[in-house]
Amino acid sequence: MTTLPSTNSTTAAAAAWVNPLRDKRDKRLPHIAGPCTVVIFGITGDLARKKLMPAIYDLANRGLLAPTFGLVGFARRDWADQDFATVAYDAVKQYSRTPFRQEVWDRLAEGLAFVPGTFDDEAAFGRLAECLEKLDAERGIDGNHAFYLAIPPEGFPVVCEQLQKSGLACPREGSWSRVVIEKPFGRDLRSARELNAIVNRVFPEESVFRIDHYLGKETVQNILALRFANELYEPIWNANYVDNVQITMAEDIGLAGRASYYDGIGAARDVIQNHLLQLMALTTMEEPIRFSARALKDEKVKILSAVRLAQPFDETTARGQYSAGWQGSEHVRGLFEEEGFSNESTTETFAAITLEIDTRRWAGVPFFLRTGKRLARRVSEIALIFKCAPHLPFDQIMTQGLRHNALVIRIQPDEGITLRFGSKVPGTAMEVRDVNMDFSYSSAFTEDSPEAYERLILDVLLGEASLFPVNEEVELSWQILDPVLEYWAAHGRPESYEPGAWGPSSAFEMLQRMGREWRRP
């Protein structure tokens, strides 16, 4: 007979002890996706080549995919499996984040297959179903499938319909079938609703994963840690202390080669509707009751419902198109010289808007959002600019170098956080000047941050939905933006701006009118 430990305290300790290797919350244990297959529609596109296939390889390399993982490409190409494998190999070699290891590739390559066909070809979807069945049987995949729609939104309805007809949208009991959709989710509220209705007719909302790759970035996830894991910031995170908030996503590249996607879309639809409004929601939402997809969604929906555009639009918004000129030492083409853009195009490559939030926490604080191509540098950041001290006991001349305190969340590059505040300048005078206190990911942590797509693809396979906007968030974002898009459409051409600048002059005037100025990151 087994003898049990005799003292109560030992018994209690034994009962309380959880084997760390068996506790699934143990932070040392990676989350690994179970056996499954990902089908990519749009496999010949840039996104699949530069981001998706490399991210899948990186996940495999980090040991986060099951060894039997399957990857199927679907496209209108006369390819055999081997041709697809060559394309995937090139993409992985060229764009993966982690080092290439032949044995990882060889194992991944065993699960590759290609199905040729067009979206309206029922027989091709029949072949896809057969291919998946074969992979399931050979590799013990158990019918778990993710369908990744890396295609223009016009293709969504027909692909969803075909997945339904071929039975692929409906998983066997105990298995899952998920759909992943890339932006743009429509071009306004009406089209987004139509699109959501089509997708939701085939896939229940919990099986729909909408990609906003900004949410997969480490620094973006850190916004919630910064706000809700610390005591330091919450007391000042409101209209009593914050003067204004500036959210910037600037790029130094132009639009060469992207006219077919970008013309008619423009900067506001491309970036503000999704990435910047999501950043704003994370920065301003209340604390979720727990860190779950449902609770996060509830708070984001609540705050987005309280957001509105400041008016009048001719004073509170700005838009522009980059002209030809010098960007640093390089002479670059203007928008109209880029292939595919006509002289008539009114598509904006720079957009800035002012938003307000009707809640007790944020009433009266302007939120300035801006994005643009061919700006001075590539930088994405969220800056909370605080009010000035109500009184300074120092000689005015001694505080000329003192501006507003600021907390800057540096999304990229040079990921980290900067706190700007006033400090005494060494010397005999009581001179006070701005200084920066910096936290930088690269010096604080030894691990490299994974690519956003690695994190998001893994979460799809794990069924973890926290980092994916739900249909309500998407529709609310369009509802916020639609009035200014309509206003711009009725008001002629955007102003032109020099490459390498920070946008058109109207963007500067927009803040000056409100007695504020943009940060120059």
C-alpha atoms less than 13 angstroms from C-alpha of 317 in its C-beta half-sphere:
27
Q: Which is nearer to ligand BG6, 153 or 422 (CB)?
A: 153
| Total site size for ligand BG6, rule CB under 6 A | 4
183 is in an annotated binding site: yes
The CB-of-503 to ligand BG6 minimum distance in angstroms stands at 16
Question: Distance between CA 474 and CA 478 in Å, rounded?
Answer: 6
Query: Is the Cα torsion angle 158, 44, 179, 304 positive or negative in sign?
Result: negative
Position closest to ligand BG6 via CB: 270
76 is in an annotated binding site: yes
Structure tokens at 206: 């919990």
Q: Which is nearer to ligand BG6, 39 or 271 (CB)?
A: 271
What residues does 417 pair with on adjacent strands? 409, 439
Is 236 buried (19+), middle (13-18) or exposed (0-12) by CB count in 10 A?
Answer: middle
Question: Distance between CA 71 and CA 56 in Å, rounded?
Answer: 9
The CB-of-271 to ligand BG6 minimum distance in angstroms stands at 6
What residues does 181 pair with on adjacent strands? 149, 210
Q: Which of residues 288-347 bind ligand BG6 (CB under 6 A)?
A: none
486 is in an annotated binding site: no
What residues does 419 pair with on adjacent strands? 407, 437
Is 313 buried (19+), middle (13-18) or exposed (0-12) by CB count in 10 A?
Answer: middle
Structure tokens at 429: 């005078």
Which helix H or strand E contains 367, and what residues bound it?
strand 367-372
251 is in an annotated binding site: yes
Contact 107, 148 (CB under 8 A): no
Q: Is 270 in the site for ligand BG6 (CB under 6 A)?
A: yes
Q: Which is nearer to ligand BG6, 117 or 216 (CB)?
A: 216
Question: Distance between CA 58 and CA 405 in Å, rounded?
Answer: 40
Q: Which is nearer to ligand BG6, 61 or 380 (CB)?
A: 380
DSSP secondary structure string for all residues of 183-198: SP--SSHHHHHHHHHH
Q: Which is nearer to ligand BG6, 270 or 415 (CB)?
A: 270
The CB-of-451 to ligand BG6 minimum distance in angstroms stands at 9
The CB-of-183 to ligand BG6 minimum distance in angstroms stands at 7
Amino acid at 440: S
Q: Which is nearer to ligand BG6, 105 or 214 (CB)?
A: 214
Contact 259, 339 (CB under 8 A): yes
Q: Which is nearer to ligand BG6, 270 or 475 (CB)?
A: 270
Amino acid at 295: A
Q: Is 404 a catalytic residue?
A: no
Backbone angles phi, psi at 355, to 5 degrees: -125, 155
The CB-of-412 to ligand BG6 minimum distance in angstroms stands at 6
Contact 49, 77 (CB under 8 A): no
Q: Omega of the bond prior to 312 within 30 degrees of 0, cis? A: yes
The CB-of-399 to ligand BG6 minimum distance in angstroms stands at 37
Contact 168, 145 (CB under 8 A): yes
Q: Which of 145, 275, 391, 491 is catalytic?
A: 275
What residues does 325 pair with on adjacent strands? 332
Q: Which is nearer to ligand BG6, 273 or 359 (CB)?
A: 273
Interface with ligand BG6 (CB under 6 A), residue from 58, 161, 251, 381: 251
Q: Which of residues 372-401 bind ligand BG6 (CB under 6 A)?
A: 380
Q: Which is nearer to ligand BG6, 283 or 380 (CB)?
A: 380
424 is in an annotated binding site: no
50 is in an annotated binding site: no
Q: Which residues of 486-519 are buried (b: 16+ CB within 10 A; e: fewer)?
A: eebeeeeebbbbbbbbbbbebbbebbeeeebebb
Locate the DSSP E strands across 269-338.
307-309, 318-322, 325-327, 330-332
Q: Is 356 in the site for ligand BG6 (CB under 6 A)?
A: no
Closest by Cα among 482, 480, 452, 483 to 468: 452
217 is in an annotated binding site: yes
Backbone angles phi, psi at 89, to 5 degrees: -60, -45
The CB-of-276 to ligand BG6 minimum distance in angstroms stands at 11
Q: Is 473 in the site for ligand BG6 (CB under 6 A)?
A: no
Question: Distance between CA 309 and CA 488 in Å, rounded?
Answer: 14
The CB-of-265 to ligand BG6 minimum distance in angstroms stands at 8
The CB-of-217 to ligand BG6 minimum distance in angstroms stands at 7
- Enumerate the known binding-site residues for substrate: 213, 217, 251, 270, 373
Q: Which residues are catalytic?
A: 275
Residue ranges in contact with ligand BG6 by CB under 6 A: 251, 270-271, 380
- Enumerate the known binding-site residues for NADP(+): 76, 183
- Enumerate the known binding-site residues: 76, 183, 213, 217, 251, 270, 373
